[in-house]
Each structure stands twice: as C-alpha cells, then as structure tokens.
C-alpha cells in the first residue's frame, strides 16, 4: 500500500456491511442537546462526539467518524469491543443464568475462582467477585483492617483506587476535595516518579530507595501505631503511567512486614496480560497479601475480584468480615471473566502483548527522538505513557499542546487519552486491546506521528 493508505483503510467512514448498525439512524446535534439537558455531570466533560457503536479496536460516532481505540474503552476492553466469544457468553447467561440471591453460588463463579486462583502464585488462593475496581479496593482495605485489627492505610502519591470512602481515602491523585473529612488514618508515601522526583544519586539517576526510606520515616512519625496495610498500583496509570522501579514492590512488602502490615496490590489496569506478564506482580515475583483485579477481567463488563490467602480468609471469617452486596458473585459477569482468562491463556495473548509492547515502546522512543515536546516515554507491555512538556530542560507540563495533539489525533482517527487535568501530569495514556495486530498497532502509531507532525509547537528535532 502507498504511504497513508493503511490508515485510510483502517479509519474510513463506516459505510460497509461489517460495521455495527445499532444506532445508524441518529442525529449527532440532537443527541448532544439531549445530553446537555438530561445528563448529570459526574466530574468530567463529555467528548464532543456521541459514540454509537464499537467493534474490535474501533468506536464509531453518530457523524460516521471511525476511531481506533488506543485505550480499550476505559482501559478495560482487553480483548477488544464485541469479541464474539464474549458476546456469546453474555447472551447465553443473560438467557439462562444472569443474577442470583447473593447467598447462592453458581458454576460460573466456581469456575472463575478455580481458574483464577490456579493461574496466580501460591498465597493467592481464595477469591470473591464484585463489580468495580473501587469496590474491590474498598473490600480489600476493609479485609486488611479486620484481619490486623488496625485502621491506618498507606497509599502512594498519584494513586487512583476508586471513589468509595476507603478507596478514595487512600487515593492521592484527584477527587479528595469538597466533601469534608475523609476516612481517618490515611497516610501517603511519595509517588515513585522517576522523571520528576527530587531524590537523585550523584550521577542524576533516580534514588527511589532514599525516597522510600524518607517516606516511611514520615509515615512512622505520623502514625498512631495502628498501621494496617499499604495499597499500591504496579503502574500508576492515572498518575501518568509511572512504573514502579525494579525492586520497589519487594522493598515495599518488606517495609510492610516490618510493621505488621498487609500489602494490597491493585491490578485494575495491569492485570490479565496487559503488561506482558499475566499479572504485573509476576514481573517482580512478589506475592501480595491481597490482590485486586477489575477492568481487564471483565473486558468492559463490571467485574472485579478480591484474592487473598486461606489464613486471612479464616481470621476474617472468625471476626465477621462482611462485604455482602447485591451483585457479589453474580454469575453472568463471572462467566465473562472466566471466558476472558480462557481466551488469554488459550490464544497466547500474554506473549503477544509482550511482543506488541516491544514494538510500541520502540516506536514511541523513536518518536521522542523526533519531537522535543516529548519529555518522557514510559510504561511496560501494552501500557505506555508519553509526557508532553514545554521543553526538556524545564519539564514544565504543556497541557494545551498535549490537548491540541490529542485533538488532532482524534481528527485523524485515533483515540489516545490525554490526561489533561494538571493532577494527571499531561501524559498520553496508551493501552490498546491486547488482541491488536502489528498492522493495527503500526497504523495507530503512524496516525499519532502525523498528529505530532501537523500540530504547531511540537518542537521537531532537526538532525
């Protein structure tokens, strides 16, 4: 194909028979008017276009714009939109086994528990299933409090764990203001930001150990002696795609053990193959006391998991731990989660994610060599961040420029979410479905490069 032809073929307006047609006959302006009139603001501005269909790696607008989805929806559609086996699983269980009384158990739940626990390291042996990532983190924090008999929870700066009370209390990114006191006993470690941290060795490299030691000294001074747990993401996606440095997670577990705390790892976005390992904890060979999963496990359906060991479960049961919700262990989403894991393992998608991730990061680093506005490229596997700055010396975030690049990419047919709020650091977050082909990946990256090339202020580097 001629240069650009593959992009045009992939992102051409939806006119052919294989495109979704559920909402073909709608009016964009009319829908936007109704949206403004009837939909309550929940903390974000809606995208300018109304999305009327999704299939595979693409979403489609009411005006006919076809857009390559480089964020898997909300970082969740691990296998792409409308995967036929997922669709069949949903249809079968919607017809025959959808929702039950919360004290009942069903084969999909048992099957998911068995498959998941057998895939995880020893020490993650018992699971139950909820709806959202925030809910699973809420349940995990409560479990840690019940097990330890203590109440203080440590989180990392730039973290995102959810918007329920305890999850939000351990979240130091956004959403904490305007509601009065948060949960008591919530303490913060410095965010492990290799690009911006002031903790440096004499050669200028990031000294995360000194930073962590400093953070724990501050925690110990603030603590009233009731430290229960530390909750952490292996890659702080909402915070700008910051990867925990090698050795950080093991050191964090050691610090927790010294204080009689549990370690909770939140793998909402990193789990189930996204980062080139089945779970991000596998990369460092660290087993937390409690693991939470969400987003990727349900391929876009509301499904999350809390997994721990038999001893924690035993003690919590003795102490009347309760997290009894309307949709705990629902069969339909559990069946989807079980099918997601089956497909990921059967189709070798973890290795595929690793291979595609290498291509992704190589190309993004090459893009950095061409444009001076790219201050940093980071991530692992099919999770990547590109931080946009005014210049590499000052490292001042260039939020308006990043927004302009993102808008241009969208016009060209690519959705790559820009975390444009100042708390997000002005970084593009890229996390396409792990089913993405090399051709689709390269075409998306070509669109992204075209957006940089045709946006004023990107600081092209002339060699």
pLDDT at 3: 45
Would residue 330 show up in a list of annotated catalytic residues for this protein?
no
Whether residue 15 lies inside any domain: the answer is no
**Is the model more confident about 94 or about 178?**
94
- pLDDT of 246 higher than 80: yes
Q: Kind of pairing, strands 152-156 and 227-232?
A: parallel
Q: Do residues 334 and 406 share a domain?
A: no
Considering its fold, how many domains does the chain have in total?
Answer: 2
Instruction: Name the active-site residue from 339, 429, 440, 450.
Output: 429
Would residue 415 show up in a list of annotated catalytic residues for this protein?
no
Whether residue 272 lies inside any domain: the answer is yes
Whether residue 27 lies inside any domain: the answer is no
Would residue 346 show up in a list of annotated catalytic residues for this protein?
no
Q: Do residues 154 and 257 share a domain?
A: yes
- Tens digits of residue pLDDT in 287-322: 999 999 999 999 999 999 999 999 999 999 999 999
Would residue 429 show up in a list of annotated catalytic residues for this protein?
yes
Q: Which of 346, 371, 397 is the last residue of a domain?
A: 346
Distance of CA 415 to the CA centre of its chain: 16
- pLDDT of 462 higher than 80: no
Tokens representing 354? Answer: 């690793």
Q: Do residues 193 and 273 share a domain?
A: yes
Q: Do residues 327 and 377 share a domain?
A: no
Would residue 160 show up in a list of annotated catalytic residues for this protein?
yes
Instruction: Name the active-site residue from 138, 152, 266, 267.
Output: 266
Whether residue 101 lies inside any domain: the answer is yes
Instruction: Give the H/E segment covering residue 453.
Output: helix 438-453
Q: What is the mean pLDDT of the chain?
A: 92
User: d(Cα 444, Cα 415) in Å, to the nearest integer?
Assistant: 9
In this prediction, residues 46-68 reach a mean pLDDT of 90
Distance of CA 357 to the CA centre of its chain: 16
pLDDT at 14: 42
Whether residue 6 lies inside any domain: the answer is no
Whether residue 81 lies inside any domain: the answer is no
Instruction: Name the active-site residue from 69, 138, 207, 233.
Output: 233
Range of the domain at 404: 349-463
Would residue 15 show up in a list of annotated catalytic residues for this protein?
no
User: d(Cα 350, Cα 78) in Å, to the nearest integer?
Assistant: 11
Q: Which of 305, 324, 346 is the last residue of a domain?
A: 346
Residue 202 DSSP symbol: T
Cβ neighbours of 120 (radius 10 Å): 19
Q: Do residues 195 and 306 share a domain?
A: yes
Q: What is the DSSP string of 411-441?
A: HHTEE--EE-SGGGTSEEEE---TT--HHHH
Q: Do residues 398 and 342 share a domain?
A: no
Residue 159 sits in a domain of what CATH number?
3.40.640.10
Q: Do residues 360 and 447 share a domain?
A: yes
Q: Which of 309, 331, 346 is the last residue of a domain?
A: 346
Residue 401 sits in a domain of what CATH number?
3.90.1150.10
Q: pLDDT confidence of 26, banded at 50, 70, 90? A: confident
Q: Considering the entire predicted model, what is its pTM?
A: 0.93
Burial class (CB in 10 A: 0-12, 13-18, 19+), 1: exposed
Q: Do residues 336 and 453 share a domain?
A: no
Instruction: Name the active-site residue from 253, 259, 295, 368.
Output: 295
Residue 314, CB half-sphere, CA atoms under 13 Å: how many? 4
Instruction: Name the active-site residue from 69, 115, 138, 160.
Output: 160
Q: pLDDT confidence of 17, banded at 50, 70, 90? A: very low
Q: Do residues 124 and 203 share a domain?
A: yes
Whether residue 56 lies inside any domain: the answer is no
Q: Do residues 300 and 368 share a domain?
A: no
Q: Are 357 and 275 spatial neighbours (Cβ–Cβ below 8 Å)?
A: yes
Share above pLDDT 90 across residues of the chain, in percent, rounded to a whole number: 78
User: d(Cα 218, Cα 156) in Å, to the nearest integer?
Assistant: 13
Whether residue 214 lies inside any domain: the answer is yes
- Tens digits of residue pLDDT in 129-165: 999 999 999 999 999 999 999 999 999 998 989 888 8
Q: Do residues 391 and 450 share a domain?
A: yes
Q: Do residues 394 and 316 share a domain?
A: no
- pLDDT of 237 higher than 80: yes
């Amino acid at each position: 194909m001629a240069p650009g032809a593959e992009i045009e073929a992939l992102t051409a307006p939806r006119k052919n028979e294989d495109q979704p047609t559920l909402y073909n006959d709608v009016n964009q302006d009319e829908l936007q008017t109704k949206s403004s009139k009837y939909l309550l603001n929940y903390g974000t501005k809606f995208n300018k276009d109304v999305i009327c269909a999704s299939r595979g790696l693409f979403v489609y607008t009411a005006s006919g714009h076809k857009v390559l989805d480089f964020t898997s929806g909300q970082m969740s559609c691990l296998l792409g939109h409308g995967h036929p086996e997922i669709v069949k699983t949903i249809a079968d269980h919607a017809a025959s086994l959808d929702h039950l009384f919360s004290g009942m158990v069903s084969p999909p739940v048992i099957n998911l528990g068995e498959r998941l626990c057998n895939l995880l390291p020893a020490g993650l042996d018992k699971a139950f299933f909820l709806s959202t990532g925030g809910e699973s983190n809420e349940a995990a924090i409560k479990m840690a409090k019940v097990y330890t008999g203590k109440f203080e929870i440590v989180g990392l700066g730039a973290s995102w764990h959810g918007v329920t009370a305890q999850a939000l209390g351990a979240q130091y990114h956004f959403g904490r203001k305007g509601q009065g006191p948060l949960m008591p006993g919530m303490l913060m470690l410095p965010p492990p930001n290799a690009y911006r941290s002031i903790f440096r060795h004499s050669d200028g490299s990031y000294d995360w150990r000194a930073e962590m030691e400093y953070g724990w000294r501050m925690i110990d001074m603030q603590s009233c002696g009731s430290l229960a747990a530390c909750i952490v993401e292996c890659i702080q996606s909402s915070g700008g795609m910051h990867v925990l440095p090698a050795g950080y997670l093991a050191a964090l577990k050691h610090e927790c053990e010294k204080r009689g705390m549990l370690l909770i790892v939140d793998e909402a976005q990193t789990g189930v193959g996204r980062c080139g390992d089945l779970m991000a904890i596998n990369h460092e060979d660290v087993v937390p006391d409690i693991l939470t999963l969400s987003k990727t496990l349900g391929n876009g359906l509301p499904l999350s998991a809390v997994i721990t060991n038999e001893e924690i479960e035993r003690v919590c049961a003795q102490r009347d731990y309760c997290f009894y919700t309307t949709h705990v262990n629902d069969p339909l989403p559990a069946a989807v989660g079980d099918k997601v894991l089956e497909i990921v393992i059967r189709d070798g998608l973890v290795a595929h994610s690793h291979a595609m991730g290498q291509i992704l990061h190589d190309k993004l680093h090459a893009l950095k060599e061409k444009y001076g506005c790219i201050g940093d490229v980071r991530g692992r596997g099919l999770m990547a961040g590109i931080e946009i700055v005014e210049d590499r010396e000052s490292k001042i975030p260039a939020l308006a420029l990043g927004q302009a690049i993102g808008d241009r990419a969208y016009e060209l047919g690519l959705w790559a979410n820009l975390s444009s709020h100042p708390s997000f650091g002005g970084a593009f977050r890229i996390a396409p479905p792990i089913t993405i082909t090399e051709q689709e990946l390269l075409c998306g990256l070509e669109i992204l490069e075209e957006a940089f090339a045709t946006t004023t202020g990107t600081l092209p580097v002339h060699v």
